[in-house]
């Protein structure tokens, strides 16, 4: 209500370009801003700028390809749980031959929610719901992600304490986290932030190296026995809980599909 009032007062019309692209299932709002900055988006044939608004009837293109009119209120919402193998890159860039979009080969436009680095495996979401993606990725929300980790040295009590307390990496100190030792060289870790290659960097800072890294849970969704390289659509119950945890109310039609 406040946003509509502000637009009325300032005379702004249409919708922000990043929301337009998100609603059209092209990417998240954050990714849309990156595309705009890279000069990949045009509006009526003119290179777009950050913060630009799109009005009804205008032609929007990404990499020269037209983006259809917004149909977010009627499109089927897709949220997949994917068991990503090692070697697959979480990007929508076609120039990366091992990109996750081509690997999945889903018949509709979807994109990964966040990153899981090339050498890691396990659970990652893929979706066409940009708003849900943004809510999951916002660091301030502190959503949990759980991993199984194997390192090249024995997991000591001192290592566990230091990891839990926070480790200096990337000009910051990681948030306190939960760790449970599961074997001589293995442990489980629950993070509430997603710094670049965070677990690997934390371990390196403490003098060891990650041998295997597998994400087994994101918020309320667990990887379970989903085969490597396969995907499934989230259940109605899982989606409902995701909506609750992100504070959103769905406006989408849902469906259920699986592939192995």
CA atoms of 124 and 194, how far apart (whole Å)? 13
Closest CA to 133 of 32, 201, 203, 14: 32
Of 23, 44, 98, 117, catalytic: 117
CA atoms of 122 and 214, how far apart (whole Å)? 5
CA atoms of 109 and 92, how far apart (whole Å)? 10
C-alpha triplet 50, 140, 121: angle, nearest 5°: 90
Asked if residues 102 and 94 have their Cβ atoms less than 8 Å apart, the reply is yes
171 is catalytic: no
Quickly list H helices, the chain: 2-10, 17-23, 29-37, 100-104, 130-137, 157-165, 198-205, 236-246
> Alpha carbon of 4 to those of 27, 89, 204: distances in Å?
24, 39, 49
Closest CA to 54 of 26, 15, 25, 6: 15
Active-site residue set:
117
């Amino acid at each position: 209500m406040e946003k509509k009032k502000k637009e009325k007062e300032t005379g702004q019309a249409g919708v922000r370009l990043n929301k337009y692209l998100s609603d059209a299932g092209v990417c998240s709002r954050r990714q849309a801003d990156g595309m705009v900055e890279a000069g990949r988006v045009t509006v009526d044939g003119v290179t777009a700028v950050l913060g630009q608004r799109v009005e009804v009837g205008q032609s929007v293109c990404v990499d020269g390809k037209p983006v259809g009119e917004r149909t977010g209120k009627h499109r089927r919402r897709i949220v997949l749980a994917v068991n990503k193998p090692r070697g697959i890159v979480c990007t929508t860039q076609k120039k990366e031959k091992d990109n996750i979009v081509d690997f999945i080969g889903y018949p509709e436009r979807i994109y990964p929610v966040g990153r899981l680095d090339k050498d890691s495996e396990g659970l990652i979401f893929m979706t066409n719901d940009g708003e849900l993606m943004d809510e999951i990725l916002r660091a301030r929300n502190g959503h949990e992600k759980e991993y199984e980790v194997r390192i090249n040295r024995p997991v000591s009590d001192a290592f566990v304490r230091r990891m839990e307390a926070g480790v200096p990496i990337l000009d910051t100190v990681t948030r306190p986290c939960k760790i449970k030792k599961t074997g001589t060289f293995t442990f489980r870790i629950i993070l509430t932030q997603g710094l670049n290659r965070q677990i690997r960097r934390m371990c390196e800072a403490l003098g060891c190296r990650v041998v295997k890294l597998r994400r087994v849970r994101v918020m309320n969704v667990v990887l379970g026995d989903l085969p490597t390289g396969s995907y499934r659509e989230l259940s109605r119950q899982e989606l409902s809980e995701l909506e609750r945890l992100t504070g959103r109310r769905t406006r989408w039609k849902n469906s259920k599909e699986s592939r192995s």
